């Protein structure tokens, strides 16, 4: 299985967010054995929780499944570039690799607005891969906001 396969799973999570009128962002976490151990989607509005981003929800689940708050040797697949909060959680969890689809020029903290993953002052620098299924994801996001504006 490759990055596109897992990004498709994250995309399905993003669709769940869209279905409840949340910004469609989805994430999955895969362990060293290529098993999905966590998944999540954005739901800060419906949960009244500003930390309820897709990445955070996936990290919470993966930590419970693995029985460890350190997610060493895992890969996080997320449809949109993580924000500052999510990159902080990724670094605290020691996630080895982050794969995202589309950049987030307003909030992105993995290369667009900030590049927290390359900050040598921090004790962990996850590997970043971007652009996986980028066009499909951009269309989902653009369609969501176009629909919001037309209501």
* DSSP label at residue 110: B
Q: Which residues partner with 40 through β-bridges?
A: 27
Element of type H or E holding 124: none
SS3 annotation, 3-27: HHHHHHHHHHHHHHHHHCCCCCCEE
Given the residues 18, 22, 55, 81, select the one marked as catalytic.
55
Active site includes 55? yes
Lay out the sheet containing 75-80: strands in order across.
36-41, 26-30, 75-80, 97-102, 127-130
CA–CA distance, 103 with 119 (Å, rounded to integer): 19
CA–CA distance, 83 with 112 (Å, rounded to integer): 10
Catalytic annotation, residues? 55
């Amino acid at each position: 299985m490759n990055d596109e396969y897992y990004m498709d799973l994250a995309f399905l999570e993003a669709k769940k967010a869209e279905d409840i009128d949340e910004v469609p962002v989805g994430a999955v976490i895969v362990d060293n054995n290529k098993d999905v151990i966590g998944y999540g989607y954005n739901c800060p509005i419906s949960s009244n929780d500003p930390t309820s981003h897709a990445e955070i929800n996936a990290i919470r689940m993966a930590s419970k499944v693995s029985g460890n708050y350190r997610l060493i040797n895992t890969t996080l697949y997320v449809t949109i570039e993580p924000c500052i909060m999510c990159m902080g959680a990724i670094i605290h969890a020691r996630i080895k690799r982050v794969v995202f689809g589309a950049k987030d020029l307003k909030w992105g903290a993995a290369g667009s607005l900030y590049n927290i993953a390359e900050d040598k002052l921090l004790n962990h620098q996850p590997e970043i891969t971007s652009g996986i299924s980028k066009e499909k994801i951009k269309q989902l996001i653009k369609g969501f906001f176009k629909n919001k504006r037309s209501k």
